[in-house]
Amino acid sequence: MGPSETIYIDQMVAACNGGGGPLGHPRVYLNLAPAGRVECPYCSRLYVNRAMAAATGAGVSERPDTSDAAGPPAG
């Protein structure tokens, strides 16, 4: 079974809680390195780094980030 949803982000770490508030899953931080993509083991969302996707020739969506897709604050 393929990913349930593909989310394009600018970071190399994605934070996923499954969405849906209390119907989601525990928040997990997923490392996109080295391939620039990772699938959440709980909900099967696929997170793809836009820059890595562009470099490999994969399609890049202009879909905006969702609040749970952004990684932890840089710093």
Q: Are residues 45 and 4 in contact, defined by beta-carbon separation less than 8 angstroms?
A: yes
- CATH no. for residue 33? 2.60.260.40
Q: What's the confidence (pLDDT) of residue 71?
A: 53
What pLDDT is recorded for position 61? Answer: 47
Q: Count Cβ atoms below 10 Å from residue 35 Cβ, excluding itself.
A: 10
Tens digit of pLDDT for each residue in 28-62?
999 999 999 999 999 999 999 999 998 887 654 44
Compute the distance between CA of residue 43 and CA of residue 74 in angstroms, rounded to an integer.
25
Res 8 pLDDT > 90: yes
Q: Name the residue among 52, 51, 45 with its Cα closest to residue 69.
A: 45
Containing structural domain, residue 18: 1-75
| Residue 58: per-residue pLDDT | 62
Whether the predicted pLDDT of 1 surpasses 90: no
Tell me how many domains the chain contains. Answer: 1
